[in-house]
Amino acid sequence: MTQSIPIWLLVLAQGVISAASLVVEIVAGRMLAPHVGMSLYTWTAVIAVVLAGFSAGHWWGGRLAEKPAEASLRWTGGALLAGAVTTALAVLLLPLAAGAVLSATGHPVWGITGLTLLVFFLPSFFAGVPAPVLTRIAVISQTRTGPALGAMFASGAIGAIAGTLLAGFLFISWLGSATTLAVVTCVYVASGVLFFWLGGLRRAGVLLVMALGGAGLAGLALAAPAPCDRESRYFCLRVEDLSADPADPVRLMVIDHLAHGISGRDLPQVQFTEHTAMLERLSTLRAPRPDFTSFHIGGGNYAVPRSFAAQGTGPITVAEIDPEVTALAASHFWFDPATAAVLHEDGRRALLSRPDARYDIILGDAFTDVVVPVHLVTQEFFRLAASRLTPEGSFLMNVIDHEDNLAAIASIVATMQTVFPVVEVWTQQIQPDPGQRMVFVVVGGQSPTPVDSFTVPAPDQTRFGALSSGMVTGLARQRGQILTDDYAPIDRLMGRRD
């Protein structure tokens, strides 16, 4: 039997299955994002769980490889059909299980890991079964075992590379997560049918039933409710209507799993969130002139740039890495692209590539819960931002931390104090609850803000104030550490103290 299977078919099958399994790994990160965000924790959990699944699958596949070739092929075909079932069901299982798993675990690390294990371990396990079986058949069917063994290992590696590239650069952005998993389901079913046929099961009716069942599974994956209104190369984007009166629309932009901004059509200068309210008012308070220039790192729903445009400030530049976010802000959040120069690139890269540009205000909107672009909170970045400011300019960024921790805000302050002569911390003037998630804005510049508190609509009248300089200095000394491009454990620093 084994002599009749061409080595090229075994090599091709191994490459295709390996590619499909890596597609699932990349898609897993995207599918988890609407529930837990896209962070270091997310990718660590995905990689660990998928590798664990592959390892367990390889072990079982090695046991199956000891069987006669035809029997091991049929068992492998069954494993791939099981892989098709679990892959298709992942689309339905994830939204059903996310709430219960995350609420049952007090720490985001355990919640993310548990959810990933529940949904993506079995697809990876079954995808890991074929490699040992196909490799053993390839080796015993060839007179020269070394080249056959090398070809199978190379095929698996090349397939993994191809799957990673296809998922990241093609499938997710063009097909979306659910359709991509439907394609993988079909690949697993086709491979399973092939292995049953190679294993001696030649009944056309049985194979046809398997194929039709696989098509039904793929349809099941496609029928799952989509968590995104738009799925871009970077984010899962959703718009929710918060309007009390349809004639006075107010909308919320959700990026991945977090509310990212709220805008009212008829209230361009009213900020509906704490961080945008502070960023907007502190910018106008610290600006050296009414027609100040501003550079915004992150557009989101473009609430602050839209407010600046309504006030008639100077030139507005926005670095928003995702063109789909900008398009959504224009189509659903009343942002006029003509009012700002929009750069669809990373904010640090945008500043670095424009050495002659100078701005009165630079705003960083980097923090979204546990998801933080690390390269935007380091000493090197703050030096870059300071070099792009006018002599009287200011740098502002929002920071999220927890009342019982404050290690993240302390480290941001300690790092900014090595760059800016004056560093301030602003937050809402209320007594936080124990362990409460708090929103801050950190300000760096040459001089202090002319006031120590202000009240603005956010959308209700809300009072914000600056922490005392002594408290800021003490916090930085006690809990802060200097964050650099080489070492910036901001994800860990933001974790709750359980």
Domain termination site, one of 227, 242, 270 = 227
Here the tokens at position 150 are 């090398």
Residue whose tokens read 């799993």: 257
Whether 410 and 470 share a structural domain: yes
Residue 128 has what DSSP assignment? Answer: T
Q: Which residues pair with 464 in a beta bridge?
A: 428, 454
Q: For residue 428, what is the enclosing H or E element?
A: strand 422-428
Are the beta carbons of 399 and 408 closer than 8 angstroms?
Answer: yes
What is the distance between the alpha carbons of residues 397 and 448, in angstroms, rounded to a whole number? 16
CATH number, residue 53: 1.20.1250.20
- pLDDT at res. 370: 57
Whether 301 and 411 share a structural domain: yes
Whether 204 and 59 share a structural domain: yes
For the chain, how far is it from start to end, CA to CA, in angstroms? 59
CATH number, residue 343: 3.40.50.150
Whether 72 and 154 share a structural domain: yes
Amino acid found at 301:
N
Q: Which residues pair with 428 in a beta bridge?
A: 464
Q: List b or e across 382-392, with b for residues whose CB sees 16 or more CB atoms inside 10 angstroms.
A: bebbbebbbee
Whether 217 and 302 share a structural domain: no
Domain termination site, one of 212, 227, 242 = 227
233 within a domain of the structure (yes/no): no
Which residues 6+ apart lie within 8 Å of 384 measured at CB? 348, 351, 352
67 within a domain of the structure (yes/no): yes
Segments of the chain scoring below 70 in pLDDT: 1-3, 38, 106, 203-207, 210-211, 214, 217-218, 220-224, 367-371, 495-498
- pLDDT at res. 434: 83
- pLDDT at res. 1: 46
Helix/strand number for the chain, H first, E second: 17, 13
Question: Per-residue pLDDT tens for 162-176?
Answer: 999 998 888 887 888
What is the distance between the alpha carbons of residues 265 and 273, in angstroms, rounded to a whole number? 15
What is the distance between the alpha carbons of residues 450 and 492, in angstroms, rounded to a whole number? 35
Closest CA to 35 of 179, 299, 236: 236
- pLDDT at res. 2: 46
Predicted model pTM: 0.81
113 within a domain of the structure (yes/no): yes
Residue whose tokens read 């837990």: 36
235 within a domain of the structure (yes/no): no
141 within a domain of the structure (yes/no): yes
What is the distance between the alpha carbons of residues 351 and 260, in angstroms, rounded to a whole number? 23
The domain tally of the chain equals 2
- pLDDT at res. 385: 97
Domain termination site, one of 227, 245, 268 = 227
| Three-class secondary structure assignment of 65-99 | HCCCHHHHHHHHHHHHHHHHHHHHHHHHHHHHHHH
- pLDDT at res. 230: 82
236 within a domain of the structure (yes/no): no
Whether 222 and 350 share a structural domain: no
Whether 220 and 266 share a structural domain: no
- pLDDT at res. 369: 58
- pLDDT at res. 205: 61
Residue whose tokens read 């104030």: 465
Domain of residue 218, residue span: 2-227
Count of CB atoms situated within 10 Å of the CB of 291: 12
∠ CA 482-488-491, nearest 5°, is 125
**How many residues are recorded in the chain?**
498
Looking only at the bridges linking them, the beta strands covering 359-364 and 316-319 are unpaired
Whether 51 and 185 share a structural domain: yes
- pLDDT at res. 498: 47
Are the beta carbons of 415 and 488 closer than 8 angstroms?
Answer: no
Whether 201 and 288 share a structural domain: no
249 within a domain of the structure (yes/no): no
Whether 272 and 347 share a structural domain: yes
Here the tokens at position 475 are 């916090």
Here the tokens at position 251 are 């909308």
**Where does residue 461 fall: left (phi above 0), alpha (psi -120 to 50 degrees), or beta otherwise?**
beta
468 within a domain of the structure (yes/no): yes
Whether 192 and 283 share a structural domain: no
Whether 277 and 146 share a structural domain: no
Question: Per-residue pLDDT tens for 214-224?
Answer: 677 667 666 66
Closest CA to 207 of 216, 195, 223: 195
